[in-house]
Amino acid sequence: MTTLLFGISVSALLSTASLLVVLFRVSPLTAPGYAIPAFFVSLFLAASSVMTLAFYALWRFVPLHSWDLGQILGISVRQGVFTGLATAILLLFHILGLLTWWIAAMIYGVFVLVELALNS
């Protein structure tokens, strides 16, 4: 269990570093074919891994359920992936000029409802 948590922590560190490298060193004006997909992939990975750790800490230290550590980590990974996917979709809508506050609420609302359906 601790090796999986260590791997997720290293993944969070490396994916956040790659997101910063893409943001500061890659120009979308000179190479848009490489910069835009690299940005979205690194954003998804960084948001997923960081939110997985955040959800793990939340479910570990706020004992609302009687889950074991493996189940807590599995649920946290699923919730982190959903949050990362919703964040990437949200930023894609913003880049395309389609984002309003209620569309953002609906995007996150869909993923919350999917998580509630999977949790039952």
Q: What is the pLDDT of residues 28-82, one digit of tens each?
A: 778 888 889 999 999 999 999 999 999 999 988 887 777 788 888 999 999 999 9
What's the domain range around 81?
Answer: 2-119
Q: What is the 3-state secondary structure (H, E, C) of 47-95?
A: HHHHHHHHHHHHHHHCCCCCCCHHHHHHHHHHHHHHHHHHHHHHHHHHH
User: How much is the mean pLDDT over the chain?
Assistant: 91
The pLDDT of residue 120: 58
Q: What is the gyration radius of the CA atoms in the chain, in angstroms? A: 16
**Residue that wins the pLDDT comparison between 11 and 3:** 11
The pLDDT of residue 38: 92
Q: Count CA within 13 A, CB hemisphere, residue 22.
A: 21
Q: How far apart are CA 81 and CA 22, in angstroms?
A: 20
Q: How far apart are CA 51 and CA 111, in angstroms?
A: 14
Task: Work out the pLDDT band at 105, boundaries 50, 70, 90.
Answer: very high
Q: What amino acid is encoded at 96 in this protein?
A: L
- Count of domains in the chain? 1
Task: Work out the pLDDT band at 16, boundaries 50, 70, 90.
Answer: very high
Q: Is the pLDDT of residue 109 over 60?
A: yes
Q: How far apart are CA 118 and CA 52, in angstroms?
A: 17
